[in-house]
Chain A
Amino acid sequence: MTIRTDRLLKRGVGESVQRIDGIPKTQGKFQYGSDLWAEGMLWGHTLRSPHPHARIKDIDITAARSSPGVHALLLAEDVPGKKTYGLEFSDQPVLASDLVRYAGEPVAVVAAEHPELARQAAAKIEVEYEELTPVTDMLQALQPDTPQLHPWGNVLRHVRILHGDPDAEAEVWVDGYYETGMQDQAPLGPESGLAVPSEDGGVDLYVSTQWLHVDREQIAPCLGLPEKKVRIYLAGVGGAFGAREDVHMQIHACMLALETGRPVKMMYGREESFFGHVHRHPSRIWMRHGATREGKLVNVRVRMVIDGGAYSSSSAAVIGNASTFAAGPYEVANALIEGTCVYTNNPPCGAMRGFGAVQACFAYEAQMDKLAKELGLHPLEIRRRNALRSGSILPTGQVIRGTAPVRELLERLEDIPMPDEPAESRDPITFPGGAGNVGRGEGLKRGVGYAVGYKNIAYSEGFDDASEARVTMFRGSGGPVVEVHSAAAEVGQGVHTIMAQIARTELGVQDVVLHPSDTNVGSAGSSSASRQTMMSGGAVQLACQAVREQLLDRVRARAAATNSAIHGELSLSDGRITLDGVPIADVDEFLDDSITETRAYHHRETTPIDERGQGEPHVSFAFAAQRAVVEVDEDLGLVRVVDVASAQDVGKALNPQSVHGQVEGGTAQGLGLALMEEIQLREGVIKNASFTDYLIPTILDMPPVTSELVEEPEPGVPFGAKGVGEPSTIVSTAAVAAALRDATGRELNRVPVTPDDLVGLRPPAQAGPPPPAPDVPFPEPVPKHAGIAAGQTELGGHEGSDTYQGGKG
């Protein structure tokens, strides 16, 4: 079945084209990593440390090795090549050898004929640990007498941004302290993949990941193999949200496959998934905002500490982002922002949708509300008076060159009608906690909250995260066909559909097929940082344009051969060559030989930030604004989010339905952080590693989301489109928290907000004094020998430079 009007449409850029993988996904036919199967396949299992900080004294594998069905059991000493890996710094052991630095760290891997046999064998491995006192508090990590978790200390990166005169006086000051909890990406598809040994001594890996090539850069050295012998193919990805940016089961499965000579599948269960991927950094943030009586910001001072956990992952880039966005989407002439990311014995933190901007937004938007209250201004008015615009100077000194329609977002938001007041008689399920049948709507209070936020599109701080695409046009049985080959990971966001739309628009051909994503084409960069539409979309556009030029050259050559000159503009439409819009020939006629072109798209250059935090770190910015309306049961501390209105700066919506889907889904994840999602740690150990105990929003928790798209094309990027994945997540946490404050009058300076917070059983999070800036080397204390500058060698970047060169995220 197709939509009736489909035939009239071109299914190109700007249309709500149906996802290319939509129907197989509804049928259960789409193959995810966890669905893979191979003849003679073994199952891998990981033994993980139960302790957050311990020395491994001895490992006895005798009983395990002789356990039924076991084909391989590998320890750190069996890692064939490099013993560590990492996205930015290679500080994470493939398998722990002497020290374990977090509870859940892999110590051994087993391959057996059945997952249960592998589990039973792993349980028979006897590891003797000498437990060490764990460092589980991010501020404790900064104390001079705290044990150093890595040879270079406990500071992973410190960022200082000095803008104008940080001592500038203001007429009004507001102070605040804020905390955010550790959030989990909780993609529904667990980590999974299948490694198949190949005849050349290499390995073929089918895996659910966000970035095939950066996986390979980390996997190949650990296997002691050249990259060309590690071929990676994208398996279906059941959501990502940052969780799949780091390597998880990839190296382990490859090691087991190479050891046994048999295909090995690894698939985490939900509990292991919580231990097997990075999380959103918890944060502690001190802010002081100074303004004039008219409500113009004068000075913003920020001290921020985030917990990177045991290993670096993409933390250096996350604190870079959190710091550069800490003043919010507002003009301010003076600022001092100090951001520190520390190592602890907590689970490693890394990329999650919003990437540092979420934590900052929760804090600065609470500050803006405080300021508005102090000055008697409406929350929207104070934001309007300070809003960034094109040409504004950011605290890094960077000038916004692209679009920054913050005021337009606020106007559009105001135009969205408020939800109706509740009817006299309501379905009880619509009360806060309604599904639990706990109340009849006594003591309900409504509140309204606003938030505006922004973040970067694509990678920052000098990193050239180029994307390559190969486009082939050939004659098919039913007319011309275009094949797009890109390594861009489809993780659910819809990039594969977008690439097909772009190919249709550029080449005027309906029949577009996608080559499976693999490492047989150049890197597409990561499906993160809201970057794939711009980067891989840009690469597909360039490759299509090159194909079109070749095709039109053939048209011109034939014309020249028959001495008929072409006057006018040649173009492609509906499988035909047109001259000034009039069809003159079928494309097919010129495809005796197929045409293939490969192109890479680079965004404009950015720079690292210097010791004063100055530079041009970001490519492009996307903004969002939201209004949340909540209902709070003040007796029970229960909440219902009644309504969310959203306005987002998207440049140009290439697939409006898909863009709205990103806004709605991103809002749900922000709402989750505001109200329920937090990894509970006790002495560094995750206590709620299940969907019974770690709650994510259900269909009963989600309000209707009215989403408005503001389309002001971004100059210099393909189709003017900005990335759309993250902005809604950034603002919805802050908007919901603001609405709860409005409803209850409470401070609520920590998310997730709990029922105890709402009824006053738990006091606001208490601020100690902000820690002094650590005395560590610039640009970052992690030494070069731990750095792999992954991705940069391949992309011809800046390996070996002394300055921190952007991050993966």
Chain B
Amino acid sequence: MLVRALVNGEWREADVWPGSSLLYMLREHLSLPGSKNACEQGECGSCSVWMDGELVCSCLVLAAQAEGRDIRTVESLSDGEELHPVQEAFAEAGAVQCGFCTPGLVVAVVDLLERDPDPSEATVREALSGNLCRCTGYQKILDAVRLASERMRGGLI
């Protein structure tokens, strides 16, 4: 079946198997593999994208549900060499190891900081509790969120 969606600001079409998830459509049809396939059950957050501005697990969304919707993926956050402050902070704070969870976490943190530019630690932990990371023990992810939050609020540049 043919699905048409606004993906990272551009109308894209994909001819998908009706059972395909949005994640599969992004990764295999639209050459956007930044969203990751770690659990495909909505438990790990690695496939997080925005659909009409709402954070969703793209593995739990049918490709067909994306018809006519505005989809934004991790690939939308950096323009060539120019990184989003959250991406910079993750790389700098040591919040990346194997990196498989990283795109989903970056998306989740960008979403959080757009809603709450200066979140408390408890707020950060709650907001990211749907993102599994197996490498870091999360401490440097918390550091990265603090660093990004400070920079985005103009604290440290």
Counting CB contacts under 8 A, is A493 at the interface? Answer: yes
Q: For A35, give the chain B residue with the smallest CB separation.
A: B33
**Chain B residues with CB under 8 A of A705:** 137, 139
Q: For A668, give the chain B residue with the smallest CB separation.
A: B137
Counting CB contacts under 8 A, is A774 at the interface? Answer: no
A704 touches which one: B19, B39, B139 (CB < 8 A)? B139
Counting CB contacts under 8 A, is B71 at the interface? Answer: no
Per-residue interface assignment for chain A, residues 245 to 273, with 1 indicating a CB less than 8 Å from any chain B CB and 0 otherwise: 00000000000000000000001011000
Asked whether, in the complex, the Cβ of B122 is within 8 Å of the Cβ of A239, the reply is no
Counting CB contacts under 8 A, is A455 at the interface? Answer: no
Given A188-B100, A664-B140, A699-B141: A16 and B94 interface contact (C-beta under 8 Å) = yes
DSSP majority for the B interface?
A: loop
Which residues in window 212-240 of A have CB below 8 A to B? Answer: 236-240
Distance, CA A403 to CA B74, complexed state (A): 46
Asked whether, in the complex, the Cβ of B126 is within 8 Å of the Cβ of A691, the reply is no
Asked whether, in the complex, the Cβ of B35 is within 8 Å of the Cβ of A28, the reply is yes
Asked whether, in the complex, the Cβ of A702 is within 8 Å of the Cβ of B100, the reply is no
**Chain B residues with CB under 8 A of A667:** 137
**Chain A residues with CB under 8 A of B17:** 114, 116
A27 touches which one: B87, B94, B129, B132 (CB < 8 A)? B87
Asked whether, in the complex, the Cβ of B39 is within 8 Å of the Cβ of A691, the reply is yes
Which residues in window 13-69 of B have CB below 8 A to A? Answer: 17, 19, 27-28, 31-41, 43-44, 46
Asked whether, in the complex, the Cβ of B94 is within 8 Å of the Cβ of A23, the reply is no
Distance, CA A669 to CA B133, complexed state (A): 11
**Chain B residues with CB under 8 A of A32:** 36, 100
Asked whether, in the complex, the Cβ of B137 is within 8 Å of the Cβ of A658, the reply is no
Asked whether, in the complex, the Cβ of A27 is within 8 Å of the Cβ of B134, the reply is no
Distance, CA A467 to CA B100, complexed state (A): 27
Given A270-B41, A492-B98, A691-B41: A18 and B134 interface contact (C-beta under 8 Å) = no
Asked whether, in the complex, the Cβ of A698 is within 8 Å of the Cβ of B129, the reply is yes
Interface centre among A187, A429, A661 (most CB of B within 10 A): A661
Given A1-B83, A28-B35: A23 and B97 interface contact (C-beta under 8 Å) = no
Asked whether, in the complex, the Cβ of A699 is within 8 Å of the Cβ of B34, the reply is no
**Chain A residues with CB under 8 A of B100:** 32, 187-189, 238-239
**Chain A residues with CB under 8 A of B106:** 26
Counting CB contacts under 8 A, is A8 at the interface? Answer: no
Which residues in window 701-744 of A have CB below 8 A to B? Answer: 702, 704-705
Which residues in window 92-144 of A have CB below 8 A to B? Answer: 114, 116
Distance, CA A457 to CA B81, complexed state (A): 39
Which residues in window 86-145 of B have CB below 8 A to A? Answer: 86-88, 90-92, 94, 96-103, 106, 122, 124-126, 128-142
Distance, CA A494 to CA B136, complexed state (A): 12
A657 touches which one: B74, B94, B129, B134 (CB < 8 A)? B94
In this complex, how many residues of chain A approach chain B with their Cβ under 8 Å: the count is: 64
**Chain B residues with CB under 8 A of A658:** 94
Asked whether, in the complex, the Cβ of A25 is within 8 Å of the Cβ of B102, the reply is yes
A665 touches which one: B40, B88, B135 (CB < 8 A)? B135
Distance, CA A239 to CA B96, complexed state (A): 11
**Chain B residues with CB under 8 A of A666:** 137
Asked whether, in the complex, the Cβ of B44 is within 8 Å of the Cβ of A664, the reply is no
Asked whether, in the complex, the Cβ of A28 is within 8 Å of the Cβ of B44, the reply is no
Counting CB contacts under 8 A, is B73 at the interface? Answer: yes
Counting CB contacts under 8 A, is A198 at the interface? Answer: no
Given A30-B99, A188-B36, A190-B38: A22 and B43 interface contact (C-beta under 8 Å) = no
B99 touches which one: A25, A430, A664 (CB < 8 A)? A25
**Chain A residues with CB under 8 A of B87:** 23, 26-27
B4 CB, nearest partner CB in chain A, Å: 21
Q: For B97, give the chain A residue with the smallest CB separation.
A: A492
Counting CB contacts under 8 A, is A21 at the interface? Answer: yes
Asked whether, in the complex, the Cβ of B139 is within 8 Å of the Cβ of A187, the reply is no
**Chain A residues with CB under 8 A of B33:** 28, 31, 34-35
Distance, CA A699 to CA B45, complexed state (A): 12
Q: For B86, give the chain A residue with the smallest CB separation.
A: A26
A475 CB, nearest partner CB in chain B, Å: 25
Asked whether, in the complex, the Cβ of B125 is within 8 Å of the Cβ of A429, the reply is yes
Counting CB contacts under 8 A, is A660 at the interface? Answer: yes
Q: For A706, give the chain B residue with the smallest CB separation.
A: B139
B98 touches which one: A31, A491, A690, A702 (CB < 8 A)? A491
**Chain A residues with CB under 8 A of B130:** 698
Asked whether, in the complex, the Cβ of A492 is within 8 Å of the Cβ of B99, the reply is yes
Asked whether, in the complex, the Cβ of B73 is within 8 Å of the Cβ of A492, the reply is no
Counting CB contacts under 8 A, is A38 at the interface? Answer: no
B45 CB, nearest partner CB in chain A, Å: 10
B115 CB, nearest partner CB in chain A, Å: 17
Which residues in window 4-43 of A have CB below 8 A to B? Answer: 16, 18-19, 21-23, 25-32, 34-35, 37
A702 touches which one: B43, B46, B138 (CB < 8 A)? B138
**Chain B residues with CB under 8 A of A59:** none
Distance, CA A35 to CA B103, complexed state (A): 13
User: Closest 6 A-B residue pairs measured CB to CB?
Assistant: A28-B34, A492-B98, A25-B99, A238-B100, A664-B137, A22-B91
Q: List 24 A-B contacts (CB under 8 A).
A: A23-B83, A26-B83, A26-B99, A27-B77, A27-B83, A28-B35, A28-B103, A29-B34, A34-B33, A37-B28, A186-B134, A188-B36, A188-B38, A190-B38, A238-B100, A239-B135, A270-B41, A427-B122, A494-B97, A664-B140, A667-B137, A691-B44, A697-B137, A705-B139
Q: With contacts A25-B102, A661-B137 known, what are 4 further pairs, Cβ within 8 A? A: A26-B90, A34-B37, A114-B17, A188-B101
On B, residues with C-beta under 8 Å from A are 17, 19, 27-28, 31-41, 43-44, 46, 73-75, 77-78, 83, 86-88, 90-92, 94, 96-103, 106, 122, 124-126, 128-142
